[in-house]
Chains A and B, each alone.
Chain A
Amino acid sequence: MASAGAPTAPEKLRMTQSAHSRPGRPRENSVNSEEAATKFRVRRLAAWFGSQQVLHGLDLDISKQRVTAIIGPSGCGKSTFIRCLNRMHELVPSARVGGEVRLDDEDIYGPGVDPVLLRRRVGMVFQKPNPFPSMSIRDNVLAGLRLTHQLARAHANEINEKALRSAALWDEVKDRLDEPGAGLSGGQQQRLCIARALAVEPDVLLMDEPCSALDPIATARIEDLIHTLRERYTIVIVTHNMQQAARVSDRTAFLLTGELVEYAPTDRIFTAPSDKRTEDYITGKFG
């Protein structure tokens, strides 16, 4: 089953020319393709809801400043997996986690690790845009800092603009920052949620099907955004859309009923998968 200890040696990550077969998308050739340090080291990760085990011992490494896609049929545990990376899983009553997750070589489930502080380093964007309805656009962006009492008033505007620019939303909302965040379109709301996550300055961005509620144009904008964010952040994205995984990610993990079937460079997964089940899934035979 799982391909433990994914290859992190530089030569294996260096890109084949096929990356350029997608015009206009300089995918695997950015500044830091030389070497990719490991951001998350996941070992024997197991997760339960009550007595139901939904993750069965996952082993994989997630590279720094790379986009890692998680694919798999509905209910296979993709959301659960990424929610274990920022300790959101344990917020569900009766939920439990086993195994080990290391972020920059620190055990995030170790004693003395405050999940609240961890979540400031590992941001998250949800499937359905969830801007705070009682807050303006600006307040939504600053919500993370304000909620945690870290906002220095003098820098508020600066942080706000920077986050909105990073989320490619600034030009669309700069004249109505005081209007309600809930008044934006779905795609804008999702980018607002990305801006909100970025304003806290995390190193990692977890995205759980961020485009599933969006139209193709809004989706394209978010994908472009992922391309630019990749230079500064480690991104883990769950998606049901094979094309999207192929377009945005460097590596892809295929999960099936809570087990890691295959984890390899995205090109390889989509052109020459080594497992029959992966092939069946990406060619649409099931799932």
Chain B
Amino acid sequence: MKHTGRRGVVIERLFVALCLGAVIVPLGLLLILFADVLSDAVQRLGWAFLTSFPSRKAALAGVYPAFVGTLYLSFITAGLTLPLGVGAAIYLEEYERRGRLANLIELNIANLAGVPSVIYGLLGLGLFVRIAGMGRSLLAGAATLALLVLPIVIMASREALRTVPLSLREGSYALGATRWQTIRQVVLPMAFPGILTGSILAISRAVGETAPLIVVGALTYVTFLPDSLGAPFTALPIQIFNWVSRPQAEFVLNAAAGIVVLLGTMLALNAAAIFLRNRYQKRTY
């Protein structure tokens, strides 16, 4: 007893130390990285940076069209993904739960979530830009991002639907509700916070993607705001990529400031997810 107890304590301490290390090392690296970016970024960050169009003069160049483009992209992507993703999840979880078809689809979805984003970019280029004739437009970009996040949204939504207990569904059926009435009024309201959180997190990740947007043909030098779904566009990651690859050193400062704006946007989206979840959870007790 005593023997193993002593050794147990040593092993325990060692384990805790290791775990602590595993937390501190990546966090520390991230912090250093962020501090480095921030020290560059402060030289550019400001209201003018947010509201200026790109320019050949680094000191004057801003992220306005890219920032607006990213916001548009995230909203359109959400608008496209949510109905499709939730619909698919409802079908798979509530209607087709045990079928062979469901198993096949499930396997495919899990695999799709792991496909590199460039591939989705190529798919978007072929499907939306060329075949559907959307051109290199905001809509084509958002549709491509929607494809990218759809598997994740479906999986998150299914997970959320699964947490609604059978007893509540039965309670609803016993009152003479149809399957759709039960889903619509009992299951979805309970699953909603989970669906929302999962989806926003997925979308906020997608908004940081560069590769698919480059393939689909986002512009890199834009001096106007997109005024319709069919308009050409740019986005923050593209703008950052563009600045980083310029030969002039001053543009690195712009890139750093762009990164901070992008991070801020993603953080804001995640915060919105948490806020909405808490609000709905309070309502659903």
**B-binding residues in A (CB < 8 A):** 86, 88, 91, 93, 116-120, 123-124, 126, 128, 130-134, 143-144, 146-149, 180, 182-183, 193, 196-197, 200
25 A-B pairs with CB atoms under 8 Å apart are: A88-B173, A88-B174, A91-B170, A91-B173, A118-B176, A119-B174, A119-B176, A120-B175, A120-B176, A123-B175, A126-B170, A133-B190, A133-B284, A133-B285, A143-B175, A146-B185, A147-B172, A147-B175, A147-B176, A147-B177, A147-B182, A149-B181, A183-B285, A196-B175, A197-B175
| Docked-complex contact A182 and B171, CB < 8 angstroms | no
Can you name the residue of chain B whose Cβ is closest to the Cβ of A183?
Answer: B285
> Are A116 and B285 in touch, CB under 8 angstroms?
no
**Residues of chain B contacted by A124 (CB below 8 angstroms):** 174
Q: Report chain B residues within 8 Å CB of A126.
A: 167, 170-171, 174
Contact partners of A93 in chain B: CB under 8 A: 97-98
Give min CB distance, B172 to chain A, whole Å.
6
Supposing A116-B178, A117-B176, A133-B285 touch, asked if A193 and B189 sit within 8 A by C-beta, the answer is no
Given contacts A93-B97, A126-B171, A133-B190, contact A144 B176 (CB under 8 A): yes
Contacts of B185 in A (CB 8 A): 146-147
* In the complex, residue of chain A having the shortest beta-carbon distance to the beta carbon of B284: A134
Pick the contact of B174: A123, A131, A134, A180 (CB < 8 A).
A123
Whether B283 and A86, one on each chain, are in contact in the complex, defined by CB atoms closer than 8 angstroms, is: no
* Of A117, A134, A143, A197, the contact of B285 (CB 8 Å cutoff): A134
- Chain A residue with minimal CB distance to B97? A93
Contact size range, B: 20 to 34
CA distance A200 to B181 in the complex (A): 15
A199 to chain B, nearest CB (A): 9
CB closest residue in chain B, given A150? B176
B171 interface neighbour in A86, A116, A120, A130, Cβ under 8 Å: A130
Query: Chain A nearest CB: distance from B34 CB in Å?
Result: 40
Are B176's CB and A132's CB within 8 A? no
How distant is the Cα of A180 from the Cα of B189 in the complex, in angstroms?
15
Contact: A200 with B175, CB < 8 Å?
yes
Q: Are A148 and B175 in contact (CB under 8 A)?
A: yes
Interface Cβ pair total, 8 Å cutoff: 77
The reply to whether the CB of B168 lies closer than 8 angstroms to some CB of chain A is yes
**Which residue of the partner chain, among B168, B170, B181, B190, contacts A148 with CB atoms under 8 Å?**
B181
Q: Which chain A residues border B165 with CB–CB below 8 Å?
A: 130
Does B186 sit within 8 A of A, measured CB to CB?
A: yes
B-side contacts of A117, CB under 8 Å: 176
Contacts A130-B167, A133-B285, A144-B176 aside, 5 further interface pairs with beta carbons under 8 A come to A133-B190, A134-B284, A144-B175, A147-B182, A148-B177
How far is the CB of A193 from the nearest CB of chain B, in Å?
A: 7
Contact A119 B173 (CB under 8 A): yes
CA distance A117 to B175 in the complex (A): 9
- Which residue of chain A lies nearest to B182 when distances are taken between CB atoms in the complex? A147
For chain B residues 149-187, which have a beta carbon within 8 Å of chain A? 165, 167-168, 170-178, 181-182, 185-186
B171: which A residues are within 8 A, CB to CB?
Answer: 126, 130-132, 193, 196
Residues of the A chain whose Cβ atoms lie less than 8 Å from the Cβ of B284:
133-134
Cβ contacts under 8 Å, A130 to chain B: 165, 167-168, 170-171
Q: Nearest CB to that of A144 among chain B residues?
A: B175
Bound Cα distance from A149 to B170, whole angstroms: 18
Min Cβ gap B126→A in Å is 40
Which residues of chain B from 169 to 216 have a CB within 8 Å of any chain A CB? Answer: 170-178, 181-182, 185-186, 189-190
A163 to B283, CA, bound (A): 24
Taken together as a complex, chains A and B put the C-alpha atoms of A132 and B174 apart, in Å, by 13
B170 near A88 with CB under 8 A, answer yes
- Closest A residue to B185 by beta carbon equals A147
Contacts of A183 in B (CB 8 A): 285
Which residue of A119, A132, A197, A200 contacts B186 across the interface (Cβ within 8 Å)? Answer: A132
